[in-house]
Structure 1
Amino acid sequence: MNRRKAVRTLFLLVALGFGVWAVAGQWSKVSAGLTRLTWPELTGSLVAVLAALSAGMMMWRALLADLGSPLALPDAAKIFFVGQLGKYIPGSLWPVLAQMEMGRDHGIPRSRSAAAFFLTYPIYLGSGLLVAVFTLPVLAGQSVARYAWLLLLVPVLAVALHPRVVNAAIGFGLRRLRKPPLERPLSRRGVLTALGWALAGWAAYGAHLALIVHGLGATGADAVILSFGAFSLAWCLGFLVVIAPAGAGVREVAMYAALAPVLDQSSAVAAALCSRLVVSVGDLVCAGLAGLASRRVVDSEREPAAKG
């Protein structure tokens, strides 16, 4: 137990270190852009990011519950948000390894944790591409034409996310790993619930970027609509380029291209960098709040036992 605790503490310290380094490393680049934003715009943008991250946690929690492991909200928040800090560590497997390890404390089989984790990404990818399809082609035009190939993924993901296909793929993978099959297969209701939370997350992310874009000088409905599509396109490309930690660099290029119709070059770059900074701060805030909430729940459960 002591060794497990030490490993978790080391992971948390390393992840926090990379997360803080990511925030600090962007500060000099975004300081000029931040000075153009008002405090209400920055605060509103951060609140929108926290809402988006919370929607992502609820999506993961819904998938896990559908697979047979319902979690109380504080426990789900701690496992998800602390585990997500691993995305700032170079490599793509740190978040799932962290969630699998912490999930063991709540009786969640590792295979189930892994299945829920890996299902969140195709759902995010598919729903994000849909948002981009409905918001970018008419308004962004040639500035995002180079990314048109992403549309080919939409029908592929639609088929791949059918419960029968998902359950068959998970079953095949577990057999190859010589692991027991999942006790409960993924249902259509579970997929639709997760999809609903994913779309709610995209709406919040779009609002976050729209506030930044407004502060940098772009007003009107076109700027708002492009903000929704720009963030979803940027995230999808960042996810597909797995070499970059948390999509660093890739997202900014795509976001700049999508915002080009409403912002000049310097302002579009500032919007992309400010968005990255606010999302990074949101990750750290969510992980901190989730850890505190979970600790309070544990302390409140221990008090009656101690008195008894």
Structure 2
Amino acid sequence: MKRLVRIAFLAVALGFGAWVVARQWEEIRAGFARLSWQSLVLSLVAVVAALCSGMMTWRALLADLGSPLPFRPAAKVFFVGQLGKYIPGSLWPVLAQMEMGRELGVPRSRSAAAFFLTMPVQLGSGLMISGVTLLTALPGSVAPYAWVFLLIPLLAVVFEPRVINAVLGFGLRKLKREPLERPLTRRGMLTALGWALLGWTAYGLHLAAVLHEFGPSGVSAVVFSIGAFALSWCLGIMTFVVPAGAGVREAAMVVVLAPVLDRGSAIAVALCSRIVIILGDLVCAGAAGLAARRAVDPRRDPDPGKAV
């Protein structure tokens, strides 16, 4: 039964992902026609690195809460669960992670806490790195989004473990759930924040590889790409009603890229970025699933050198 539910979940997630692509297929095809295979490969490699950093952010929070998972099982839970973000609604990824985590001995409340803590860590780190990089590369590009950066002081308070632990405790009491066995620590939060910043840097390199084919290049273009991607993604994270922020992040990216690209090129870059990220999600989910399956395959001899 669990296998059927998991297959149905993957089928629905992949179906919505395909729908996102099909809606704008002509524009996507036109954009990819301008990309060299080198840029496409570099962009995909950078996306995979960014997605792995996101997984490590979540894994660091989960470990700090008391459930350290080995890399391969953690990757399977995170990446397969993340395919749920393509289904309308914001709860599918956390529900999938809660169920798969439970099979590894992770309490549902702990999986949920790690999932929901990952979002403010990503949002706060994304706003910080976008503010710094955009101001460095192109100061005028920050002005239209000054209101967004007002969230940084609020999110800085959220990063304080005492505040987070109090909020989590209150929420669990209201839900009549058992309190978390281990509170978050400052070290755990800083570890998660470090992985998140690495992830934004990798996403920026992904965007820079695509952007290079449309004109802008050099160090300043790379720095600008980091900020442009992080800011547009943060705006997408704030929108919970569409699958994976579909359309919102691309629209924001088109606006953020306006100082360096014409509108047509900016739309092409945003759509190409979207498809490479979908490919990255599929690559990571597939690789993590296969790696975890090999690790527990009963047909494999645990000691090849031992005579049967």
TM-score range for the pair, normalised by the shorter chain length = over 0.9
The sequence identity of aligned pairs, in percent, is 65
Residue by residue, what CA displacement relative to the aligned partner does 1:245-286 show, whole Å, maximum 9, x if unpaired? 111111112211221222122111111111111111111111
- Distance in 1 (CA, whole Å) between partners of 2:23 and 2:294 is 33
Residue 168 (structure 1) aligns with: 166
Residue 81 (structure 2) aligns with: 83
Q: Does 1:215 find its partner at 2:207?
A: no
Residue 144 (structure 2) aligns with: 146
- Distance in 2 (CA, whole Å) between partners of 1:294 and 1:217 is 41
Normalising to structure 2: TM-score of the pair? 0.94
- Distance in 2 (CA, whole Å) between partners of 1:141 and 1:190 is 33
Residue 17 (structure 1) aligns with: 15
Checking the alignment, whether the CA contact within 8 Å between 1:23 and 1:281 is kept in structure 2 is no
Residue 110 (structure 1) aligns with: 108
Checking the alignment, whether the CA contact within 8 Å between 1:19 and 1:284 is kept in structure 2 is no
| TM superposition shift of 1:141 | 5.1
- Distance in 2 (CA, whole Å) between partners of 1:202 and 1:110 is 28
Q: Give the partner amino acid of 1:194.
A: A
Checking the alignment, whether the CA contact within 8 Å between 1:22 and 1:280 is kept in structure 2 is no
Q: Aligned residue pairs: how many?
A: 305
Indicate which of 183, 186, 199 corresponds to 2:184.
Answer: 186
Residue by residue, what CA displacement relative to the aligned partner does 1:40-59 show, whole Å, maximum 9, x if unpaired? 10000000000000000011
Checking the alignment, whether the CA contact within 8 Å between 1:140 and 1:260 is kept in structure 2 is no
What secondary structure, in the 3-state scheme, does the structure 2 residue paired with 1:103 have? Answer: helix
| TM superposition shift of 1:146 | 3.0
What secondary structure, in the 3-state scheme, does the structure 1 residue paired with 2:297 have? Answer: helix
Checking the alignment, whether the CA contact within 8 Å between 1:85 and 1:283 is kept in structure 2 is yes
Residue 57 (structure 2) aligns with: 59
| TM superposition shift of 1:120 | 0.5
Residues 188, 143 of structure 1: alpha-carbon distance in 2 compared, 3 angstrom cutoff = closer
Q: Does 1:98 find its partner at 2:96?
A: yes
Residue 34 (structure 1) aligns with: 32
- Distance in 1 (CA, whole Å) between partners of 2:165 and 2:142 is 35
Q: Give the partner amino acid of 2:275.
A: L
| TM superposition shift of 1:221 | 2.9
Q: Does 1:299 find its partner at 2:297?
A: yes
- Distance in 1 (CA, whole Å) between partners of 2:24 and 2:142 is 25
Checking the alignment, whether the CA contact within 8 Å between 1:45 and 1:207 is kept in structure 2 is yes
Q: Which moved more, 1:234-243 or 1:212-221?
A: 212-221
Residues 215, 300 of structure 1: alpha-carbon distance in 2 compared, 3 angstrom cutoff = farther
Residue by residue, what CA displacement relative to the aligned partner does 1:109-151 show, whole Å, maximum 9, x if unpaired? 0000000000000000000000111122465455553321111
Residue 250 (structure 1) aligns with: 248
Q: Give the partner amino acid of 1:82.
A: V
Checking the alignment, whether the CA contact within 8 Å between 1:23 and 1:277 is kept in structure 2 is yes
Residue by residue, what CA displacement relative to the aligned partner does 1:149-206 show, whole Å, maximum 9, x if unpaired? 1111000000012100000000001111111111110000100000000000001000
Checking the alignment, whether the CA contact within 8 Å between 2:16 and 2:86 is kept in structure 1 is yes
- Distance in 2 (CA, whole Å) between partners of 1:65 and 1:252 is 33
| TM superposition shift of 1:26 | 3.9
Residues 301, 146 of structure 1: alpha-carbon distance in 2 compared, 3 angstrom cutoff = farther
Checking the alignment, whether the CA contact within 8 Å between 1:59 and 1:198 is kept in structure 2 is yes
- How large is the Cα RMSD of the aligned pairs? 1.8
Q: Give the partner amino acid of 2:36.
A: T
- Distance in 2 (CA, whole Å) between partners of 1:35 and 1:8 is 36
| TM superposition shift of 1:303 | 4.2
Q: Does 1:269 find its partner at 2:267?
A: yes
Residue 285 (structure 1) aligns with: 283
- Distance in 2 (CA, whole Å) between partners of 1:249 and 1:143 is 21
Q: Give the partner amino acid of 1:146.
A: P
- Distance in 1 (CA, whole Å) between partners of 2:140 and 2:162 is 38
| TM superposition shift of 1:36 | 1.1
Q: Give the partner amino acid of 2:174.
A: R
Residue by residue, what CA displacement relative to the aligned partner does 1:58-77 show, whole Å, maximum 9, x if unpaired? 11111111111111111001
| TM superposition shift of 1:8 | 1.9
Between Structure 1 and Structure 2, which shows a larger proportion of helix residues?
1
**Structure 1: stretches of 5+ with no match in the other structure:** none
Normalising to structure 1: TM-score of the pair? 0.94
**Runs of at least 4 residues off by over 6 Å:** none
